[in-house]
Structure formats: structure tokens, C-alpha cells
Structure 1
């Protein structure tokens, strides 16, 4: 993993459901955001002001990204059913953090994958936070 970043082992079910719902609602345009982790679990999606999107790309303005040490990566959608990253995706992965999620149409619980900055798949457990705190 990237130096200086805490190890992430999961994503909260609530956060994954939010990502899938926002991806559905912005379809056929791409959706993009940043990922925040708490206690080793991706727990929030941060929307960057000035982000633009269309049916082939989404752009976040780097100078609008928050200075937040809990940000661990990025998320974006693919309006077609293709979870593979592009060369542009791989370039973006390197500057957003070690955990980069792609969700693809039709945006179900099976239509997502997490990559590290080199394009290697990272297995993340979907965590039900209510069970975790019980």
C-alpha cells in the first residue's frame, strides 16, 4: 500500500449502497468522488466542488480536493458494464490514494471492484456497521 496511509480492509454496506445509488441517478453520465476511511473501513464519499462529468468521463479539480488525511482513494462509475480501468483511470489512481473503486452499469452489489494505484485488484469486505458496533 501507499506509504503513510492506513490499511483499509473493508467498505461499509451503507457507503457502497450510496455509491451504487448515486451512480444510478447520474447515469448515463459518470459519477466521481473521493473515499474516506475510518478505523480501516471506507465509510464516506466526498464530493469535490467543480467536478464535471459526461457519458465518457468525470473530472475532479485537484485544487478543489480537501486536505484530509482520512481520504484513501477515489470512486467513479462506468456507464457501460465494464469494470476494467482505462489508462486515464490508472493515471488518476496514482494521485487519489491506494484504494480506487470502479462501479459499472447496472450498478448492483456485484458491479464494483477496487484497484491499487498499479491496477492490481484489492479485495474489500463489505461491512455491516450495525453488526460491527453490536
Structure 2
């Protein structure tokens, strides 16, 4: 398992902006890291987004390594659902949920079990 030091500020701002532009639908993607810093969001082909869920087509994932996932909660509740926890276990150990209103205070990171974890914002 990769040791993650934090998330690049630009990557987090991208996540928040895409989440905001997807509103009222959910946004979902996968996270990639370079040198221990989350630097990229992968949007998989065929991802389905609705007001209550986003469905990642994991079978469309290229043969690459991811460290986790990201998705938005348009209702602003920044807590993993049962469906979130099922997906978390398949995609890594760092899972970001961005909640409405999608600002720097409205996101959290969780581990694969759904426990909140600290994730430092790193200025790139």
C-alpha cells in the first residue's frame, strides 16, 4: 500500500470545482498519486451520475495503480454511505467525499473502512 503524504492543492481545487459544476448530480473519479502526493483524478468512461449516486464502471479502469476514490455528495452530508463503503474496498485506502457547497471546508478523507483520516493539503 502506498504511503500518502497529502493532496496537491490544485488537485483538491479541481475536485471541488468539478463537484460544483456537476451539481445537483454526483461526480465520481479515482485518485492517482505521484511521490506520495495525490496529484490526479481519473474519470472513467461510462461513469453514470445522478442526484443520489454516481456509478463508476471499474471494469473500464486501465491497468494502472490508484490510491482511492473521490465523489461528491450534493446534499452536503460528508459521511460514507453503505454503497460508498462497498466501493471504497475496491479502489484503495484514500477516499475523498466533497460536499455542498464545495469549498475548502466541505470535504473529508476516509480510509477503506470509512473512518475519517487526515489528509494534508500540499502547495505544489
Note whether the superposition's TM-score is higher than 0.5. yes
User: TM-score with structure 1 length normalisation?
Assistant: 0.91
SS at match of 2:77: coil
1:91 paired residue number:
86
Task: Give per-residue Cα distances to partners, 1:58-102, cap 9 Å, x unaligned.
Answer: 001121012112x10000000011101110001110001111100
Distance 2:82 2:69 in 1: 15
2:120 paired residue number:
125
2:19 paired residue number:
23
SS at match of 2:69: strand
Distance 1:19 1:30 in 2: 12
User: TM-score with structure 2 length normalisation?
Assistant: 0.98
Q: Which runs of 4+ in 1 moved over 3 A?
A: none
Alignment of 1:1-134 (within 5 A): 5-69=1-65, 71-129=66-124
Cα RMSD for the two superposed structures? 0.6
Structure with the greater alpha carbon radius of gyration? 1
Task: Give per-residue Cα distances to partners, 1:20-66, cap 9 Å, x unaligned.
Answer: 00000000000000000011110000010000110000001121012
Distance 1:60 1:85 in 2: 16
Could you list the runs of 5+ residues in structure 1 that have no partner in the other structure? 130-134
